[in-house]
């Protein structure tokens, strides 16, 4: 089983003025080459929306992925990784050429297909933490160019919700983790709230204990209680999405060539300590898997 440390050597942390010392120390301790990309606002940016400024910062990381021609782990400053993230399994098969992105933290996830190696292809929004391939980075830079044209720099946009579709059109897959490799530790986003979206999102399930306390719990007088409350709500929401058929949609399940495998992945991640293993199957699985993905993407669209 290939581990994250076997495939990923460099981490890019996207930041503005946030204190990233804990995050940097954690990645360095785990053996990664960690670099912080800090955005410096320019006079022409004064009317830009926060969402577009965030996109620009991600673009700086995407350019580095293209230049290095190697997949890299990218995360935002408020990401809190689990301990020993480096020793967790890679969320996709690195031998495949059609990988665009692998989310390490998911928001509103949906699975389309699960391979015999327990790798799930699907949809997610939010770019808190992810692994991006050079091919995927090139596509996302093209997406950023389109966002600059419409709706434009001064308008709020949910550009992160267009990631999966943009990659899909270019025949690149997006992978979802069995469980999240860390937590979104940030405070509520007022821009999301003004747009009528949820201002808070947390990881429904974590691969293990967090390396340090999230920002949302630090300033509280009863930080332990605040943390417990946030994590409990996230767990309940995750189970709710499963029961309501949002994580694994009924049409995707009934149309799948491997429904039992998908159920094991979707349900097992909530109740089993380790991922359920699957026996290797013949190469003929690839064609059936492709059909499953197409059905999943069609129901999402």
pLDDT band at 273 (very low <50, low <70, confident <90, very high): confident
Candidates 195, 204, 123, 119; CA nearest to 164 is: 123
Q: What's the first-to-final CA gap in the chain, in angstroms?
A: 33
Beta pairing class for 173-176 and 99-103? parallel
pLDDT digits (tens, 9 = 90+) for 10-32: 999 999 999 999 999 999 999 99
Q: Which helix (H) or strand (E) holds 138?
A: helix 134-149
Q: What is the pLDDT of residue 289?
A: 55
pLDDT digits (tens, 9 = 90+) for 213-237: 998 887 655 578 889 999 999 999 9
What is the fold, at CATH topology level, of the domain defined by 4-295? Spore Coat Polysaccharide Biosynthesis Protein SpsA; Chain A (3.90.550)
pLDDT band at 292 (very low <50, low <70, confident <90, very high): low
């Amino acid at each position: 089983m290939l581990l994250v440390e076997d495939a990923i050597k460099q981490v890019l942390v996207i930041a503005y003025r946030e204190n990233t010392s804990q995050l940097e120390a954690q990645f360095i301790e785990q053996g990664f080459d960690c670099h912080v990309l800090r955005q410096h606002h320019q006079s022409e940016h004064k009317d830009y929306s926060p969402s577009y400024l965030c996109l620009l910062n991600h673009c700086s990381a995407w350019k580095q992925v293209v230049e290095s021609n190697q997949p890299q782990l990218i995360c935002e400053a408020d990401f809190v990784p689990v301990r020993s993230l480096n020793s967790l399994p890679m969320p996709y098969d690195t031998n495949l050429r059609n990988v665009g992105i692998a989310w390490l933290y998911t928001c509103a996830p949906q699975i389309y297909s699960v391979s015999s190696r327990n790798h799930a292809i699907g949809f997610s929004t939010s770019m808190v933490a992810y692994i991006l391939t050079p091919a995927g980075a090139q596509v996302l830079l093209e997406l950023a160019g389109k966002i600059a044209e419409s709706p434009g720099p001064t308008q709020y946009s949910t550009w992160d919700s267009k990631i999966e579709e943009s990659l899909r059109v270019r025949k690149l897959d997006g992978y979802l983790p069995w469980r999240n490799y860390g937590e979104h530790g940030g405070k509520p986003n007022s821009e999301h709230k003004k747009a009528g979206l949820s201002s808070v999102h947390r990881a429904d399930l974590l691969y293990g204990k967090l390396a340090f306390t999230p920002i949302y719990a630090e300033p509280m007088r009863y930080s332990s209680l605040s943390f417990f409350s946030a994590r409990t709500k996230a767990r309940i929401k995750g189970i709710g999405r499963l029961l309501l058929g949002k994580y694994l949609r009924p049409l995707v399940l009934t149309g799948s060539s491997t429904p039992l495998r998908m159920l094991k992945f979707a349900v097992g991640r909530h109740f089993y300590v380790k991922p359920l293993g699957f026996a290797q199957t013949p190469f003929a699985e690839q064609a059936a898997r492709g059909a499953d993905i197409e059905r999943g993407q069609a129901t999402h669209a």
